Structure 1
């Protein structure tokens, strides 16, 4: 073996070892943890807990680790803008791990080809959907962050009403963050306030409008009822979508979290039975 051949072989061995080392730094568990931060915008739950992550593959490559993720949704006609948002956020969350390349693909959706092509080209939301993209992703995120915050407010105040019989709905407009008991319900509310840039100090009023303003006393009961309607809608839709996914994909229930943060137990929902004709293994 000549020196040149030896050097080439040594270089290949070094490259292989380096590639394996890079791959070892990012594992499937790391990718899944990154995806825990990606929420379904309408259901306000992580896509991991909903069972929307179909597969994760981490492969060593010469130019860095390749991560390939396949996503699935409860039906083929789930809203394309929601689908794109989750897929795009997934790609961003994994890219933040510093891997070489990220491929995120949405399976079995009527716009899969369009969404997957847009993600692969980093075309962006409007670049992917063109004239069909009515709102920007930022506007879409803001709309659903506000809904998530509304539901979180209601959960905290309802929890307080159940714990204190002397407290009435008419009086919850004066409840402040410092009055709420510590726990995951309050923690969830604080995180949603942070996402919207709302105050989080103990003196901040809990029940506020989308701009962070407290309601006049006479409007408080109606504001709480509207918030309750929003929360029930989110929790009910989440429960329904979980069932749809289990019906569509055999075995997907094993990938779903038992109970999401802040949501009502499953037996609080009484939904009509449904039949879904399309099924995928």
Structure 2
């Protein structure tokens, strides 16, 4: 294999790693795992091409914008600073979103009057809160399974958290993600301060942990339900094939089968 091919392969791996850090804002799951990224390719000239498709034609444009904006930030951080093209397909506002994202516009600039009173900053915070709580629940439950008492868990600082051993796929997955969410929310937090605090920054009393976990469980169940719905809608939408000029082509047949509501068209709940 040539040095040029090696370089392209390394860049391709870096590209996918960067996209794995872009989450569906409502579900807190990587867009790559949700199957939304259908193409992410480093071209021969070093530029990048991304093709992106959401579960339905009606997915809320603010959700589409948040994900595409996340991709834009991920691509801007690539080590070789490539030119890139991101394309949203089969969406009612695909043309407006693609043109706006390419021009570096904000949500309000892209949609103008269509944006209405939509508060993108507020929406980002709502989803950041849900992600924080979901990741936190996984860690609290994981540490309980390790035999730690509630008092020991809630007294844990960042230094102890980093060295804690966990079992179970979900806890292991969420350990670095909760750390990231905590420090994003509280960037000045000292390593010796408690690692488990509410979104508002209050300590969690050990005697209140059971009730607190019940609240976190409701957040997780809502997110898991929406995630399952999104996956199901996308699978249903693209499960039929049509052959055109000898090539298989995805057929959008959901228009006649699903009412214009989906995981991203419902209002967000805190």
TM-score, normalised relative to structure 2:
0.71
Task: Give the match for residue 118 of structure 1.
Answer: 100
Cα shift at 1:29:
2.8
Q: CA deviation at 1:172?
A: 8.3
Segments of 5+ residues of structure 2 without an aligned counterpart are 167-171, 241-252, 257-270
Residue 213 of structure 1 corresponds to 202
Q: Which residue of 2 aligns with 1:155?
A: 138
Q: Which runs of 5+ in 1 are unaligned?
A: 1-19, 252-275
Which of 178, 182, 186 is residue 189 of structure 1 equivalent to? 178
Confirm or deny that 1:91 pairs with 2:72: yes
Question: What is the Cα deviation at residue 107 of structure 1?
Answer: 0.8
Comparing 186-195 and 32-41, the one that deviates more:
186-195
List per-residue Cα deviations over 1:8-36 (Å, max 9, x = no partner).
xxxxxxxxxxxx79x84874333222211
Q: CA deviation at 1:243?
A: 2.5
Q: Distance in 2 between matches of 1:28 and 1:85?
A: 23
Is residue 249 from structure 1 mapped to residue 253 from structure 2 by the alignment?
Answer: no
- Cα drift, residue 147 of structure 1: 1.0
Aligned position for 2:254: 277
CA distance in structure 2 between the partners assigned to 1:161 and 1:25 by the alignment: 42
Pairwise CA distance, 1:163: 4.3
- Larger Rg: 1 or 2? 1
SS at match of 1:148: helix
Q: CA RMSD in A?
A: 3.2
| Structure 1 residue 202: Cα displacement | 5.5
Indicate the residue corresponding to 1:204 in structure 2: 194
2:176 is aligned with 1:176: no
Give the TM-score, by structure 1 length.
0.69
Verify: 1:75 aligned to 2:65, yes or no. no
Deviation at 1:137, TM superposition (A): 4.0
Shift of 1:47: 0.9
Distance 1:160 1:217, change over 3 A: closer
Runs of 4+ in 1 over 6 A off after TM superposition: none
Deviation string, structure 1 residues 224-269 (Cα, Å, up to 9, x no partner): 2111111222223223322322222249xxxxxxxxxxxxxxxxxx
Q: 1:200 to 1:246 in 2, by over 3 A?
A: farther
Cα distance change on mapping 1:222 and 1:71 into 2, 3 Å? same
Count of residue pairs brought into register by the alignment: 229
- In the alignment, the residues of structure 1 paired with residue 33 and residue 75 of structure 2 have an alpha-carbon distance, to the nearest angstrom, of 17
Q: 1:136 to 1:277 in 2, by over 3 A?
A: closer
The CA distance in 2 between the partners of 1:218 and 1:77, in whole Å, is 45
Residue aligning to 1:66: 47
Task: Check the 8 A contact 2:154/2:204 in 1, yes or no.
Answer: no
The question of whether the paired residues in 2 share the 8 Å contact of 1:126 and 1:136 is answered with no
* Whole-Å separation in 2 of the counterparts to 1:78 and 1:175: 42
